[in-house]
């Protein structure tokens, strides 16, 4: 017995708060760069 999959509906969700990538990267750098000597190299990943 096979069951089919159907798309019933779609929707769009917009978060109430948006964090830009550059702001997240700056916050991560501030929080973790002193703890990890390879942070700058690893952050590029």
- Secondary structure of 1-45 in HEC code, one letter for each residue: CCCCCCCCCCCCCCCCCCCCHHHHHHHHHHHHCCCCCCHHHHHCC
Q: Read off the pTM.
A: 0.57
Is 36 a residue whose pLDDT tops 70?
A: yes
Reported as a single tens digit per residue, the pLDDT across 1-21 is: 688 999 999 999 999 999 999
pLDDT at 1: 67
Q: State the average pLDDT for the chain.
A: 91
Q: Which residue is it, tokens 């991560």?
A: 28
User: Domain map of the chain by residue range?
Assistant: 19-44
């Amino acid at each position: 017995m096979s069951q089919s999959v159907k798309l019933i509906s779609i929707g769009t969700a917009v978060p109430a708060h948006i964090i830009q990538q550059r702001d997240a990267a700056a916050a991560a750098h501030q929080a973790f760069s002193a703890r990890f000597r390879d942070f700058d190299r690893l952050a590029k990943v």
